[in-house]
């Protein structure tokens, strides 16, 4: 919606895990290094954790893009599975076809044969389990049993567990002691600090820019960092809303008041979720002790909160309607401009055609058909050269008179001469 306004080829803060936009912060660079070390060194289990929206999925996408072509990859993203379903899901992602009527030992045997065949062909099977915190202890123990499949020198399968921080709590349970001892690499993705937040935001703006990139000032990025607590997903939500609101208010430069407005709107609608407030409320707005409030006052406050929420929702709808009207006006302006260009082009064509016709008219051309002599000029007179040519030869009329009157040439010329003198005397 706002891409053309800010000269962007696409939305820079989309929530899709696009590895092209991965900002190489210190924590993400370290995490990628640990993942590569675990894969290339066959280091047993690799565990990567992080808060919701810390960039784990984007990190995995970047890691998979850089993997060796000799790796056979299976990735699970739906982990609400029991132990048998987990085995079937792994086989399906490796391209196998687990038969539902076969027992679990037969499924494990088929999976083990596949892993041995892959190793014989020089390929490394890699299993990535995303959202691993949803696995039951029994399913995690099944994963550990898979790691027992090995040759004399190395494991037949490499396993990476990715999840939220409570995955650590689950792995610390006593019944998972054996699994915990096989974990050789653990890394927790921490939130971005203010400087990393500023670099992260402007990095994504630069990646999406068509020309000179839009730059958020340090004051603006600090506000976004406080409200997002340095989590990339929340940074994307706030920054995307900031660009949308800036487009709606026709602002090419993002300023702190606009960011304050966006953050308040997102917090009022619950989009930013729970967590410590980005900006401390004013002392007068802080909550009073429970004993200092009476029931009627609580009801009044609740009613006021509901009214404020409705007002904010209505304001959001108004902004959306205004943006839609703006898009319609831009489209109408483009159509009008196209029509004007067509009219100017047609007028230019007609002008050139008229100039060509005018040039043709002013060029001298011989008249056609030839002009006929007038009647007076065709009547012969006595003194004209009709009767005699310049060479002395008798003309047609002289010969005609001579024949009609039966006169020879001297007598005819004498008569003509006397007639001429007679007309002159008169």
- Residue ending a domain, among 278, 302, 317, is 278
The verdict on 132 and 257 lying in the same domain is no
Distance CA 159, CA 42 (A): 9
The verdict on 222 and 125 lying in the same domain is no
For strands 158-163 and 183-189, give the pairing: unpaired
- Is 17 contained in some domain? no
- Decide if 24 contacts 199 (C-beta within 8 A): no
- Is 383 contained in some domain? no
- Decide if 64 contacts 183 (C-beta within 8 A): no
**Which CATH number does the domain housing residue 221 bear?**
1.10.8
The verdict on 168 and 32 lying in the same domain is yes
The verdict on 180 and 218 lying in the same domain is no
Mean pLDDT of 263-274: 83
- Is 9 contained in some domain? no
Range of the domain at 417: 397-426
What six digits make up the tokens of 278?
Answer: 């980005």
- What does the buried/exposed string (b/e) look like for 122-160 if buried means 16 or more CB atoms within 10 Å of the residue's CB? eebbbbbbbbbbbbeeebbebbbebbebeeeeebbbbbb
Report helix, strand or coil for 263: helix
What six digits make up the tokens of 165?
Answer: 């921080």
Distance CA 140, CA 82 (A): 10
**Which CATH number does the domain housing residue 51 bear?**
3.40.50.300
Find the angle CA(290)-CA(294)-CA(298) to the nearest 5 degrees: 80
Q: Using CB atoms within 10 A of its CB, is residue 248 exposed (0-12), middle (13-18) or buried (19+)?
A: middle
The verdict on 168 and 130 lying in the same domain is yes
Which pLDDT belongs to residue 216? 95
- Is 8 contained in some domain? no
- Is 208 contained in some domain? yes
- Residue ending a domain, among 254, 278, 302, is 278
Specify the number of domains making up the chain: 3
- Is 414 contained in some domain? yes
Residue 268 DSSP label:
H
Query: Which residue is it, tokens 């009547």?
Result: 379
Q: What is the pLDDT of residues 117-155, one digit of tens each?
A: 998 898 889 999 999 999 988 899 999 988 887 766 678
Distance CA 15, CA 424 (A): 122
Q: Which helix (H) or strand (E) holds 139?
A: helix 137-146
The verdict on 132 and 264 lying in the same domain is no
- Residue ending a domain, among 126, 161, 189, is 189
Mean pLDDT of 254-258: 94
- Is 374 contained in some domain? no
Which pLDDT belongs to residue 313? 61
Q: Which of 114-123, 238-247, 363-372 is the least confident region? A: 363-372
The verdict on 182 and 214 lying in the same domain is no
Mean pLDDT of the chain: 77
- Is 304 contained in some domain? no
Report helix, strand or coil for 364: coil
Inter-helix orientation angle 256-268/295-361, to 10°: 130
What six digits make up the tokens of 354?
Answer: 């008229």
Considering only CA atoms, which of 46, 33, 41 is closest in space to residue 143?
46
Mean pLDDT of 145-173: 85
The verdict on 85 and 210 lying in the same domain is no
């Amino acid at each position: 919606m706002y891409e053309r306004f800010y000269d962007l080829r696409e939305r820079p803060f989309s929530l899709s895990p696009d590895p092209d936009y991965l900002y190489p912060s210190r924590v993400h660079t370290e995490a990628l290094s640990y993942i590569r070390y675990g894969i290339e060194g066959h280091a047993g289990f690799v565990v990567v954790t992080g808060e919701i929206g810390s960039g784990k999925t984007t990190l995995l996408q970047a890691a998979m893009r850089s993997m060796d072509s000799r790796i056979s990859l299976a990735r699970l993203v739906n982990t609400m599975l029991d132990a048998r379903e987990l085995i079937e899901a792994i086989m399906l992602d490796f391209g196998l076809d687990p038969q539902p009527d076969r027992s679990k030992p037969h499924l494990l045997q088929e999976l083990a044969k596949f892993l041995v065949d892959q190793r014989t062909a020089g390929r490394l099977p890699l299993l990535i389990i995303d959202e691993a915190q949803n696995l039951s202890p029994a399913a995690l123990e099944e994963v550990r049993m898979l790691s027992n499949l090995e040759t004399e020198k190395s494991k037949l399968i490499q396993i990476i567990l990715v999840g939220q921080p409570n995955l650590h709590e689950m792995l610390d349970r006593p019944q998972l002691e054996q699994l915990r001892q096989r974990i050789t690499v653990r890394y927790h993705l921490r939130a971005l600090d203010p400087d990393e937040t500023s670099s992260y935001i402007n990095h994504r703006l630069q990646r999406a820019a068509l020309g000179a990139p839009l730059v958020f000032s340090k004051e603006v990025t600090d506000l976004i960092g406080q409200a997002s607590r340095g989590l990339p997903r929340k940074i994307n939500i706030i920054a995307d809303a900031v660009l949308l609101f800036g487009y709606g208010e026709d602002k090419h430069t993002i300023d702190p008041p606009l960011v304050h407005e966006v953050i308040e709107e997102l917090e009022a609608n619950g989009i930013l979720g729970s967590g410590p407030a980005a900006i401390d409320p004013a002392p007068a707005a802080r909550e009073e002790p429970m004993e200092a409030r009476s029931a009627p006052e609580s009801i009044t406050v609740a009613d006021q909160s509901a009214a404020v929420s409705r007002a904010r929702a209505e304001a959001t709808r108004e902004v959306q309607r205004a943006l839609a009207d703006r898009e319609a006006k831009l489209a109408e302006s483009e159509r009008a401009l196209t029509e004007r260009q067509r009219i100017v082009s047609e007028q230019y064509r007609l002008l050139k055609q008229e100039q060509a016709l005018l040039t043709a008219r002013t060029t001298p051309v011989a008249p056609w058909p030839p002009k006929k002599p007038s009647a007076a000029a065709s009547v012969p007179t006595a003194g004209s050269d009709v009767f005699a040519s310049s060479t002395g030869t008798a003309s047609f009329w002289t010969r005609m008179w001579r024949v009609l009157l039966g006169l020879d040439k001297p007598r005819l010329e004498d008569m003509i001469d006397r007639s001429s003198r007679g007309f002159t005397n008169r």
